[in-house]
Each structure stands twice: as C-alpha cells, then as structure tokens.
Amino acid sequence: MNDEPQNHHDNPTPTPPPLPGQIFVRPGIDDRPDLDKALTPEDKAALARLTVRQNPRQPEASGDRPEVQAAQMSAEGAPMAAAARIDTAVPNLESSFLDLRDPMVDADGYRPSAAEMTRMNIGFALGAVLCAAPLGALNTVLVPVLVDRLAGAGRTLPLALLVAVGVVVSVLSNAVVAVLSDHTRMEIGRRTPWILGGGAVAALFTLPLGAATNVVLLTLVWCLVQIGYVMLSTPIAAAFGERIPDKFRSRADAYRGIGLTVGQLLGAVVAVLMVHTPNGAIRLCSVLFLLAGVVSVLVLPRERSSVEIRSRAIEQHEFFSRYRMPKGAPNFVRVLVARLVMTAGVAVTGVFLWYIVLYTVSGGDLDAAVPVMAGAAVASFVGGLVATLVLGPVADHWEDGRIPSVLACALYVVGLAVPCVTPSAVGVIVYALLSGCAYVIFDGISQRQAASVLPDIHTAGRNLAVLNLAAQAGSVIGALLGALALFAVGTYQVLFPVAIVAVVVAAAEIWSIHEDQGR
C-alpha cells in the first residue's frame, strides 16, 4: 500500500492513444525505402542501363512544313487560285492521310470543335482581308504617289529601287521571324505574340510614310513597314498550316484566298478614291494593320501555351536553310525559272500601273485617272473570279499540265497587247481583266506542277520556300527591268512589249518540262 503513491509519482504521465489515421501505414508509400541509400552503386548502374530516356518531340519548324510554305506561296502569287480548290496536294509526311491518323485533328493532335473550325475559317479569312487591304493600297497607289511627289519626273527608278529593297528586306526578315517564332515559348503561344507585335509595328511605321521628305527616307521607312508586315503575316501563315486539320484544309485555304483577293481589291479601290488625300489614306492603312493583328487573335480560338514545348538553342543554319536549291532536279528548276520569269513579267507593268494610267491614259489628269484605276482593280478581280470557275475544269481536262499553263500565258500576252495597241482607258481595263484571269490560271496550274516535280518529299517545305523566293526575286527583276526600259525609251508604252517577252519566256520554260526525265 505504501508503494502505490511512490509508483504514481515515478511513472510519467501516460500519452493519449494515437488517432486512427496516425498509425496507418500506406503500403508502398510510407514504407518505401530511400533508393539512394538502399541501393549499392552497382545496383544504380544496372538500373540506369535499363532506364528509358524520354526525348520529347520538337515541333517541326514552320520553314519545313509544306502546308505553311504552300500558304505563303499562294499569298505571294495569285491567292484567288486557292478559291478554285483544285487538287494540288503537297506531299506532307506528317499528314494524317499518310499514316492513318485522324484527319480531324491538327498537327499537335488537337481535335477542334465545329464552333472552333468556324472561328478559324472566319478568323483567317478576316485576317487575310485586313492584312491585304493596307498592303494593296500602299503597293498599288499610295507609294507610287509618294514617290511621284518626292522625285518628280525621275520617279521610275526610285520606285523600282524602293520595291526591290523592300522585297529583299522582306525575304531576310521572313527567315528571321519564322525561326524566332518557332522558338517562342509563352503562355499565349508561339504565334500570338508575333501577330500582335507585327500588327503594331506595321501600323507604327506606316504613319511616317506621308511625312518622308526624300526618297531615301521613304525607302527606309518602307523597309520598316515590310518588317512589321512580315512579323504579322508569317506567323499567321504558320498558324494556318499548323492549326487547320487535314480534313478542312482545302476549304479554309479557299476562304483565306478569297479574303486576300478581296482585301487587295478593297485596298486598291479605297486608295484610288482617296488619292487626293494620301496622308489620310496612309492613316487608314495604319489602323487596318493594327486591326489585322488584334482581330485575328480575338476571332481565332485561343492558341495553346508553348511553355511546355521542349526548347533548344537556335542554330545559325536554321535561318536560310530553307532557301537551298535541290540538286539533280531539272524539272523543278524549270518550274522555278518559269515562275520567276512570269512574276517578273507581271511586275514590269504592275509596279508602274498607276503611272501608266495617270500619264499615258489620262494625260496627267488626276481626276480622270481615278475611275480608270478603280475600273482596272475591279476588272482584275472579276478576271480572277472567272478564273476560279474555270480553273478546276481546265486543270482536269488536260492531263499534261503544260498545255493550260501555256494557254494562260497566251491569254496574258493578248491582255498585254491590247493597251500596247490602244493606250486608252478601255485598253487598260481589258488588260486588267485578261491578265487577272490568265495569272490566276497560270499560278494555280504552276502550283500543281510544282507539287508534282518536287525532288524529295522529305524536303517539300524547303522546296516550296525556294519557289516562293523565286516569285519574290521575279518582282525585283521585273521592277528593275521596267525602270531600265523606261530610262532607255522614255515612254510607258515600252513596258507592255517587255512584259510580253517575259511571259513568252515563261511559257517556253514551262513547255520544256519533260515528264520522262522524272523530277
């Protein structure tokens, strides 16, 4: 009895019983050993040999994607040709039609809903209108008017140099922007920041065009506008090639082609109607560039984040590797040369069309030139619209694609001959009608021929980029050739015979393609 109080004071206070959750050991989790301590170095080496090392797939560069380059090529050529929806399938090794993947998903494996597809069709078409309208207004009327105001009688060579330098800057910036856009890692995606930034940059540098005091300053500002436009248009083309599933690509391409053509028409007509107030038209172009970036992003479904895409360092060869000529492909070279020469023939008269209308047809009367130039823009649109209706049947009627291409060149020559014989308003409008129809047919058939003579389907994207580069180089050659012809002869009438020669050379080059020589 005497020991009980002593034991009570010697023993510590008993702890309360643990809660049920505190004594539960989760098998395989709480009792899992620390492998860094439990395994010997030999065990760790054996496990390392059996480990599967994940190598996340790096998305294909936009310069290597045939769909992206096809979209850019149609935009640089005759976009109305896309509305005809002829079979010009580009051999893409990642296409779902080749490896039995779902054709309803995009390049990243995402299946857009019907509502998202509607938004993409509207977004890309509306973005095309807003991109093409200000550029068409500037190229067709406003920049020639500004050069005329600054250079006077010596206007032709400065305009040709401005066009040539602008195209060179566009090609260089295209190579840089495409690579940087591919490597962009942001929550809002790879393309969205460039689309928004490109619209802002193009809008910002369009405003000073009207304030330029000399041709050199005008050319410098024009190059900055080209950089902004590339920042806007190149990511849009990349997004188009990546986000449209194979099943709907033809229809979306047609909508986008129509949008580009309508934009060019609206831009040219509005610029002509505002030719008396060019600074106001330039401010309108600036607003349209800004809207092109904002509206495209708002209408299109939100781009998925690119933060989780595996990043890697940019290598120097990426910038211009797409412009490498393939070897051992004579037919491909012939198609390339034909596209280059044909584009040069178009540029010989197209670059100086405002001067032809103003000084040859209208005798320097600005008020008389406005309806003629507007009529020519509408006639060119109507001719392209007619071509979309006949391009499919024409392409299917002849198995040999050379025949419709040569016939299109012949129609273009007829169109060039009309104002050469009768330099009048009717002659210019007939020329615009026939040339618009002929060029859409030629460009549509040439894109099919280009796809059929690609030397290696593994490099289809780069080959199409070279063809697009040929078209841009043709614009430079045509502008400089026209300026030299005007310097030698001194009359705008000489441009039409020079263009006829270029178109005939293009037809001869197309006819020299031999199917028995392979690609």
Give me the pLDDT at residue 61, please.
73
Which one-letter amino acid corresponds to residue 362?
Answer: S
The closest of 519, 192, 91 to 330, measured between CA atoms, is: 519
8 A C-beta contact, residue 225 and residue 202: yes
Burial class (CB in 10 A: 0-12, 13-18, 19+), 379: buried
Q: Exposed, middle or buried by CB within 10 Å (0-12, 13-18, 19+), for 385?
A: middle
Name, in order, each residue with C-beta under 8 angstroms of 401's C-beta and a sequence gap of 6 or more: 395, 445, 448, 449, 452
142-146: which pairs have CB atoms within 8 A and are 24 or more residues apart?
A: 142/209, 142/271, 142/278, 142/281, 142/282, 142/285, 143/209, 143/218, 143/222, 144/352, 144/354, 144/355, 145/275, 145/278, 145/354, 146/209, 146/210, 146/212, 146/218, 146/278
Separation between Cα atoms, residue 369 and residue 346, nearest integer Å: 21
Neighbours of 31 (CB within 10 A): 8
Burial call 108-122: b when 16+ CB within 10 Å, e when fewer: eeeebeeebbebbbe
Give the span between the Cα atoms of 28 and 43, in whole angstroms: 20
- pLDDT value of position 8: 46
In the DSSP assignment, the letter for residue 154 is G
- Specify the residue for token string 């309208």: 133
pLDDT of residue 2: 47
Rounded Cα–Cα distance for residues 404 and 474 (Å): 21
Distance CA 132, CA 257 (A): 11
The greatest distance separating any two alpha carbons of the chain, rounded to the nearest whole angstrom, comes to 138
Smallest CA-to-CA distance from 390 within 27, 81, 70 is with 81
The pLDDT of residue 295 is 93
Angstrom distance (rounded) from CA 360 to CA 423: 7
Cα-only R_g, the chain? 31
Could you tell me how far CA 489 lies from the centroid of its own chain? 37
What are the tokens at 93? 């090794």
Q: Which structure tokens are listed for 411?
A: 């129609």
Domain ranges of the chain: 3-49, 102-307+314-319
In whole angstroms, what is the distance from residue 370 CA to residue 425 CA?
A: 11
pLDDT per residue of the chain (519 residues) written in tens, 0 to 9? 444 444 444 555 666 665 655 566 666 666 677 777 788 888 888 777 776 555 555 666 776 676 777 777 777 777 777 776 666 556 555 555 555 566 777 766 678 888 988 999 999 999 999 999 999 999 999 999 999 999 888 889 999 999 999 999 999 998 888 888 888 888 888 899 999 999 999 999 999 998 998 999 999 999 999 999 999 998 998 888 888 887 888 788 888 888 999 999 999 999 999 999 999 999 999 999 999 999 999 999 988 888 877 777 777 767 777 777 777 778 888 888 999 999 999 999 999 999 999 999 888 888 899 999 999 999 999 998 998 888 888 877 887 888 889 999 999 999 999 998 888 899 999 999 999 999 999 988 887 787 777 777 777 777 788 888 888 899 999 999 999 999 998 888 899 999 999 999 999 999 888 754 445
Instruction: Give the helix/strand (H/E) hosting 138.
Output: none
What's the confidence (pLDDT) of residue 59?
Answer: 64
Residue the block writes with tokens 């129609």 = 411
pLDDT for position 31: 67
CB atoms within 10 A of CB 402: 18
Give the model's pLDDT for residue 1. 44
Checking phi first, is residue 109 left (phi over 0); if not, alpha (psi -120 to 50) or beta?
A: left
Task: Give CA 14 to chain center in angstroms.
Answer: 80
Token reading at 20: 């049920």
Where helices occur in 183-214 by DSSP H, the ranges are 192-206
Dihedral sign for Cα atoms in the order 63, 65, 66, 71: negative
What is 477-516 written as a DSSP string? HHHHHHHHHHHHH-SGGGHHHHHHHHHHHHHHHHHT--GG
Euclidean distance between CA atoms 237 and 257, whole angstroms: 12
pTM: 0.82
Q: What pLDDT, on a 0 to 100 scale, did the predictor assign at position 517?
A: 47
Sequence-distant (6+) residues with CB within 8 A of 19 are none
Instruction: Give the Cβ contact number of residue 409 at 10 Å.
Output: 28
Please check whether residue 461 is in contact with residue 318, taking contact to mean a CB–CB distance below 8 angstroms: no
For residue 52, how far is the Cα from the chain centroid? 40
The dihedral built from the CA positions of residue 74, 76, 80 and 81, taken in this order, carries a sign that is negative
- Give the CATH number of domain 102-307+314-319; options: 1.10.10.10, 3.20.20.70, 1.20.1250.20, 1.10.4030.10: 1.20.1250.20
Do the Cβ atoms of 383 and 432 come closer than 8 Å?
yes
Of 323, 322, 340, 327, the closest CA to residue 455 belongs to 327
